[in-house]
Amino acid sequence: MYLALTALATGTKIGGNLEVAVGPPLRSRLLSRRPPMRRSASIVVAILATLPSFRDVVAQVSPRPTAAPRPVFAEPAIAPNADEIAFVHAGDIWVAPARGGEGRLLVAHPANDSRPVYSPDGTRLAFMSTRAGSPDIWILNLGNASLRRLTFGDGAEQLDGWSRDGRWIYYSTSAHDIAGMSDVYRVRSEGGTPMPVAADRYASEFMAAPSPDGNAVAIVARGFGLSQWWRAGRSHLDESELWVVRGDGSGAPKYEQLTQRGAKQQWPMWGAGSADGGSLYFISDRSGAQNLWVKPPQGDARQLTSFANGRVMWPTMSANGRTIAFEKEFGIWTYDVAGRKAQEVPITVRGVAIGGAAEHLVLTTGFSDLAVSPDGKKLAFVARGEVFAAPAADGGDATRLTTTSAAEAQVAWAPDSRRVVYSANRDGAWNLYVYDFATSRETPLTNGRTHNVSPRFSPDGKQVAFLRDGRELCVVSVDTRQVRVLAQGVFGRPPFFLERPIAWAPDGRWIAYLSGGTKLFMNAYVVPAAGGDARQVSWLANTRATSLSWSGDGGFLLLDTGMRMEPGVLARVDLLPF
């Protein structure tokens, strides 16, 4: 084989509207602190009865049993007297005894409620909510159940904590800085105009903790820890510093650096009492895994817990400084400061969160992974993380193919137009599934803990090519589910999908694919479908290429290619026999 390379043109995408019948919302709102979608935008809500099939193609989809979801508890807030813990479950706020036991629903709303924090006297609970659109701070009076909105900014406000006298609420926001940089503000708990506390330009400042005497505020500076707190592992993007800011607002604040960069250092908390009032507790992965640390007024920081793995996040401290509650592996834990002991809090929830009922939504936006069947009669696509199919000519109501709490993506048709294959992130890994319209059944093609993505049917419909774990091009038999490895490469891993990185030759004898090579330039390769050596067929100095197609006569490949800051172009690779 040989090649001739021609740049053709920049590409455009064509969009359209479609009505979609959607059942229960995909997102069970287990982790409500993710950036939320406004649920009321461009939808019409009604009770969903049945989902009509499209004509002569699809039988009515029967519901399939799913495994009971594991309870997810997040963002704990320990009460000032340490007798109870408020936490987030299913997008609502619950409360349970600090020693463990039955959790009761405290705040419920169809929107996402998150990050509860008790006032120092325990009479009020501040929390974040998207019930008015973007995340704002709300305050619940625990004595009379009255609720009021505290912040009204257009951007998201991340609740940090209360001043020790209960007069101020501190929060972080990126609404007023440039390039997504965040600043620290405070607003009176009874309402008023937010005032900047730390608003240095070109530097992120977040996760504020006012000192017990009110004369200083500990903050986290630099890095992307506010927006990427969820990132597992170590990255230079997440490394941060701890600082103390002093000033009453009448002049420029004074900064004092407490720690150097080199690790995550997040969620500072001041110690309490005469013996510990100047100490600063925080979360860090400077020893490898995330753990609780403490920085005394004099001397170096020391590690308190000894977790070897897992995530330690969202800590809060009781008023007397004796107990710290934190989230670990979707559970609630506490740390006894005096006894230096961490233990999980056993919680069972009693009650049901708001939402989860069947809905009928008419959507005109938010579609992805559109794929037209080879016979041109049907359209498969993803909406709200579920796979649907509809008539290509008429549109109208779509038939839902998947009903899971996991995300589905990358839909591709079989040559007979009677099956689709897609990837789904279930049980902690992406795997491949085939849906047969004749039987209305889904069949798994792959399983295990490695990511299997980007499926493409062979021309005879008997095999599916896919990428495994970001390193291997594989083929799986639809009938036997036997997997063969064809080539090694650099493909990237979820959630960084390439749009269409695999293409079969029309005769099914070759498979073309995109892979990173020298300096991670993305280029096209071909490999025999029966096995053999892979051959590079393009040599482009680029930073991105996401889609690849094989011409109908088998004579050339088309791929998109481009640099990071330049418009993409369409390149043609002519394949000539040796």
Distance in angstroms between the alpha carbons of the first and the last residue of the chain? 5
Specify the amino acid at residue 291: N
Model pLDDT, residue 68: 56
| β-pair type (452-457, 463-468) | antiparallel
- For the stretch 369-377, contacts whose Cβ atoms lie closer than 8 Å and that sit 24 or more positions apart, written own/partner, are 369/409, 369/410, 369/411, 369/422, 371/411, 371/412, 371/413, 371/420, 372/413, 373/413, 373/417, 374/413, 374/415, 374/416, 374/417, 375/417, 377/57, 377/417
Model pLDDT, residue 32: 35
* Angstrom distance (rounded) from CA 423 to CA 466: 10
Q: Which CATH class is domain 5-22+363-574?
A: mainly beta
How many residues in total does the chain contain? 578
The answer to whether 289 and 306 have CB atoms below 8 angstroms apart is: no
pLDDT digits (tens, 9 = 90+) for 248-261: 777 788 999 999 98
Non-local (6+) Cβ contacts of 471 within 8 A are 488, 489, 490, 491
* Angstrom distance (rounded) from CA 459 to CA 465: 11
Q: Same topology for domains 5-22+363-574 and 74-350, yes or no? A: yes
Model pLDDT, residue 142: 96
Model pLDDT, residue 36: 37
Residues of the chain scoring pLDDT < 50: 1-66, 578
Superfamily of domain 74-350: Tricorn protease N-terminal domain (2.120.10.60)
3 state DSSP class of 519: helix
Chain centre to alpha carbon of residue 452: 18
Q: What are the CA-CA distances from residue 428 to residues 91, 235, 270, 494 (Å)?
A: 20, 22, 36, 11
Model pLDDT, residue 206: 95
Domain range list for the chain = 5-22+363-574, 74-350
Model pLDDT, residue 201: 82
Give the predicted TM-score (pTM) of the model: 0.64
Please report the sign of the dihedral spanned by the C-alpha atoms of residue 284, residue 287, residue 290, residue 293. negative
Model pLDDT, residue 277: 64
* Angstrom distance (rounded) from CA 504 to CA 457: 8
Model pLDDT, residue 62: 41
Model pLDDT, residue 355: 57
Lookup result for tokens 């900047």? 196
Model pLDDT, residue 175: 87
* Angstrom distance (rounded) from CA 483 to CA 488: 14
Model pLDDT, residue 315: 97
Model pLDDT, residue 353: 64
Model pLDDT, residue 378: 94
Model pLDDT, residue 308: 93
| β-pair type (101-107, 347-350) | parallel
